[in-house]
Amino acid sequence: MSLPIRPARLIGPLVTLLLLAGAFLYVRAGRSTVAPTGTGPVRGGQLVSSIRAEPRTFNRAVSQDQITDLLNTLTQGRLVRVNRASFELEPWLAERWESSPNGRQHTLHLRKGVTWSDGSPFTSADVLFSLRVAANPKFVLASSLTVGGEPMRGAAPDAETVVVTFAAPSGIGIRLLDQLPILPKHKLEAAFVAGTFESAWNTQVVPADVVGTGPFVLREYRPGERVVLDRNPRYWRKDAAGQPLPYLDRLVLDIVPDQNAELLRLQSGAVDLTQDALRPEDFVTVRRSEDQGALTRFELGVATDADAFWFCLKPEAKKQDRRFAFVRLPAFRQALSHAVDREAFAQNVFLGEAVPVWGPITPGNRQWFTPNLPRYPPDARRALELLKELGLEDRDGNGVVEAADGTEARFTVLVQRGIAASERGAAFLREAAATIGVALDIVPLESGVVIQRMLACDYDAVYMRVLTTSLDPAGNLDMWLSSGSAHFWNLSQRTPATEWEQRIDTLMLEQAATLDQARRRDLFNDVQRILAENLPVLYFAAPRMYAAHTPRVRGVVPSVLRPPILWNADSLSVAGGAGAAKP
């Protein structure tokens, strides 16, 4: 028995097929992207960005995830804008404002002639409606848009003026309004009154119903595929030459969940940019593409958040655990800090693209960073002295220090699984701690599990990056105050557990209510110093962030904050304009 076709007879068709395939690939590869011509903005064309997750809603007032926030930036306006590159406050839907001397009352004058994307006029009634939504504790904005624990109140003397009143003086002032999405009363009030506000702009909404004052309008959402946004022809902004913005006709957000595939699509030009900073392990690949002219790589700046390491310091959760008798003492945590060489940490964990840090405020947060904090240089001898003063020595010669009662300094550290830099950082920390006889066992877990255990204080230690919600420390009182829900080493205390937390509470409350910015800075420097002395949390390095885009993208003003490029979407354009639209 044998196959009636002899293998030799297959050679001819195979060679023909190969030749055809080769010719096809050659022709396809020969299709070059449009070469950039000139450097100025060009009207028209479409830009494709990748996003890693699905939108859950088109209403920023009911969800604060990154995609909702991005879509809000693209489709909605705000009264004032914090420029994501300079961190300066800019007039936006409000063209000017005055504040009362006590800092509690702010009169905002709305820009004239602004309309919603459906043509309805934008008035103070929309702002008042948005303030009502923000004050409703059912929705996510209520927790972040308060001053002195109370929501902002609004009044409208006329259609173009809004008076916003704070319950207490606020150091942040009207910068807080950058976080307030301005929603169309004529579209959403009925749902708000009927109690269906949460689902009013869910992902099944008819796109035309999502009206906004932002540069783009929703055209289409295809679950699992993409979100397509078209130019808002009624957008109010113009460029310096008087040309209406945005320049782009269309902005496409392709949903690409896998970061490796996302990078490949960026390299091939299938997407023009991504929403996430590059991972350190991608730098070499991207540099090669940059050398070939396929990508433009640029530095966003130093990240405003650093990876953090902390123990659970909630006394009631650890009262039976003898290890925490010494963990609770700052000297133990100082010894651990002395064990870590931060320069080597930056080199190993972030492949050299990081700067050492000694507190939660990194050099990326230019307004609030101070270099003058207590530091703990790498010094194993000093670390061992500190441990000895606490009664911790390696008595049985097993490489781990223990107390006189035999309690070993051995801890389990929870790390988020799948984040390579986090896993590398935890591994580096384990090695460093081992040099002074502190044993750290690393346990990577799904991030949901880490968060759940963290909230229940069901852990020894955690290593992860905690993202702050605001660059201004007064916007992060939930982290700084001992009663705060994000005071992560000891959440939501009834009364401050330690004397130094009490001091931080006092200083932060004063800092948040002070209008004099120099005084605010001094107060916050004191807070940072107290934290660095007591080290409830150890910080090691903040990465330098890089992003990349295809060379045809113009007008990029990088920001270390999210979204790193699309925050400025109305001023982006593509080389070739309308002629450069991709298939």
Partner 1 sequence: MVRWLVGRVVSGAVLVVLASSTALVLTRLAPGDVTTQLGPFASRAEIERTRERFGLDRPVPVEWAVWVSRAVRLDFGTSFLYNRPVSGLLGRAAANTGLLATLSLGVATVLGVVLGLLTGSRPRGWLPALVRAASILLLSLPPLLTSLLLVFVASRTGWAPPGGMTSVGAADADWLAWAADVAWHLPVPAMALALPLAASFERLQAQALADGRDAPFLTAARARGVGPRVLLLRHAWPVSLRPLCAAYGMAVGALLSGSFVVEFVTAWPGLGRLMYEALRARDVYLVAGCAAAGAFFLALGTLLGDVLLAAVDPRAREGLDA
Contacts with partner 1 by CB under 8 A lie at: 1-5, 7, 10, 24-25, 28-29, 31, 46, 48, 54, 56-57, 64-65, 137-138, 140, 143, 199, 202-204, 220, 222-226, 228, 250, 252, 254-258, 260-261, 264-265, 267-268, 270, 446-449, 451-455, 466, 478-479, 485-486, 488, 582-583
Positive or negative, the Cα torsion across 13, 15, 16, 21? positive
Q: What is the closest distance, in whole angstroms, from the C-beta atom of residue 443 to partner 1 in the complex?
A: 13
Beta-carbon contacts of residue 385 (< 8 Å; ≥ 6 apart): none
Neighbouring C-beta atoms of residue 275, cutoff 10 Å? 20
CB of 260 to partner 1, least distance (A): 6
Contact 273, 46 (CB under 8 A): no
Q: How many CB atoms lie within 10 A of CB 478?
A: 18
Tokens representing residue 430 in the block: 């384990």
- Which residues make beta-bridge pairs with 440? 411
Residue type, 177: L
The answer to whether 572 and 564 are in contact (CB under 8 A) is: no
> What is the closest distance, in whole angstroms, from the C-beta atom of residue 213 to partner 1 in the complex?
24
Among residues 2 and 495, whose Cβ is nearest to partner 1? Answer: 2
Tokens of 78: 């705000």
Nearer to partner 1, 220 or 389 (CB): 220
Q: Tell me the DSSP string of 81-117.
A: EE-TTT--EEESSEEEEEE-TTSSEEEEEEPTT-B-T
Length of the chain: 583
CB nearer partner 1, residue 23 or residue 533: 23
Region of 393 (left: φ > 0; alpha: ψ -120 to 50; beta: rest) is: beta
Nearer CB in complex with partner 1: 29/518: 29
Q: Residue 59 CB, nearest distance to partner 1 (Å)?
A: 10
In terms of CB distance, is 485 or 517 closer to partner 1? 485
CB of 454 vs partner 1, minimal distance in Å: 7
- CA torsion sign for 435, 437, 443, 448 is negative
Work out how close the CB of 429 gets to partner 1 at its nearest, in angstroms, rounded to a whole number: 20
CB closer to partner 1, 156 vs 264:
264
Closer residue to partner 1 (CB): 263 or 339:
263
**For partner 1, which is the closer residue by CB, 5 or 240?**
5
Distance, in Å, from the CA atom of 196 to the CA atom of 189, rounded to the nearest integer, reads: 10
**Contact by Cβ (8 Å): 330, 311:** no
CB atoms near residue 190 (< 10 Å): 12
